[in-house]
Amino acid sequence: MQNDVVAQVYPWQQIVWDTLTGRFPKLGHGLLFYGKKGCGKEAFAQYFLAWVLCANRHANNAPCGECGSCLWLKSDTHPNYVHISTDEENKKQNAKIKIEKIRDLLPFVQQTVDGWRVIVIEPAEALNMSSANALLKTLEEPGDRVVIILLADHYLKLPATIRSRLQHFALDRISEAQAGEYLSEHLPNLDQTQKQLLLNLSNQMPLQAMQLAQAEWLNKRQEFLNDWQKLVTQKNMPMAIATKWNKALNFSDFAQMFEYLLSDLICVKLNQQVKNPDLDLSVLSEQYTLEFLFTIYSDLQQSKRFIEQNVQSNLVLDQLCIKLMNI
């Protein structure tokens, strides 16, 4: 699992934790932990598997941190734990989990060993059709004391055949108060507007909000809006502005900022609540029709695909800036 994940149960996951550990071992072989990005499902899974493997496991207690199993996990060499993900070198959005990795699980699942074995597969959305089919076989005939945990942001993106064989646990049931409390505790210097902004942009997911608070683009939104306005009113210099932003932010940060602002312009048009309450979007939104805003939106999605195909980001930004200008 990612190294920066600290195994733990967040306050909003306590009920699920109590349910899981209370029922264990009377659980299905396949568990699905799902929830929006930034709900802490990875940390929860890590904590749960440590508990399952811990030699001193008791209902509702914590993994002891001292037994052989807990020490193995700490050194990332546990013989009864397998973590499956997309290839390290392939972090693209559409990266898939290869079928070989799922096939290779079979001996691990079928061997006879003392104690429990745990497999974590994440993100489960990255299973392609053939690896999902291979996993189905494993889910149908697991050995004794095997737990297979799948992690997903959106469980509807999983094949129905897989979903139906898993017990589902939502880890993103967070009240507004809980999310706000968590942010106040960890980022005590935020004012109310900043807090609201971060929660809006993160779908109320506290860990995602914490990450966004560090994002470089957050403090560049107004500046980008000013440049955007220049493109619209002066109708020249798209290349200069594209070059500037190509240097200022990496493309994925730029695309994220752009997408949030664009979504808000659409919200203004539709009289819906915006996510960036600290910005004035009314002037810019008046320059475009709703229809045109949607075409920009689909152009942005297209440009993300171009970047994944290794098109140079300056060329992609040139095209986007020209598009913004041609109203």
Residues that bind Zn ion (CB under 5 A): 54, 63-64, 67, 70
Please report how close the Cβ of residue 76 comes to Zn ion at its closest, in angstroms. 15
CB nearer Zn ion, residue 71 or residue 239: 71
Please report how close the Cβ of residue 117 comes to Zn ion at its closest, in angstroms. 16
CB nearer Zn ion, residue 67 or residue 136: 67
CB nearer Zn ion, residue 7 or residue 120: 7
CB nearer Zn ion, residue 54 or residue 179: 54
Please report how close the Cβ of residue 93 comes to Zn ion at its closest, in angstroms. 36
CB nearer Zn ion, residue 63 or residue 238: 63
Helix (H, G, I), strand (E, B) or coil at 120: strand
What residue type is assigned to position 298 of the chain? Answer: S
Dihedral angle computed from the Cα positions of residues 232, 238, 243 and 248, in that order, rounded to the nearest 10 degrees: 0
Structure tokens at 194: 């900043």
- Report whether 257 contacts 221 (CB < 8 A): yes
DSSP, residue by residue, 270-301: TT---S-TTS--HHHHHHS-HHHHHHHHHHHH
Please report how close the Cβ of residue 21 comes to Zn ion at its closest, in angstroms. 14
CB nearer Zn ion, residue 34 or residue 48: 48
Please report how close the Cβ of residue 116 comes to Zn ion at its closest, in angstroms. 12
Sheet holding 146-152, edge to edge: 81-84, 117-121, 146-152, 30-34, 167-170
Please report how close the Cβ of residue 309 comes to Zn ion at its closest, in angstroms. 46
CB nearer Zn ion, residue 20 or residue 70: 70
Please report how close the Cβ of residue 63 comes to Zn ion at its closest, in angstroms. 5
- Report whether 153 contacts 34 (CB < 8 A): yes
| Longest Cα–Cα distance in the chain | 72
End-to-end CA distance of the chain: 46
Helix segments in the chain, DSSP class H: 14-23, 41-53, 68-74, 99-103, 105-110, 129-140, 160-163, 176-186, 192-201, 206-213, 221-234, 238-248, 251-269, 282-287, 290-308, 313-325
What residue type is assigned to position 118 of the chain? Answer: V
Please report how close the Cβ of residue 24 comes to Zn ion at its closest, in angstroms. 15
CB nearer Zn ion, residue 54 or residue 149: 54
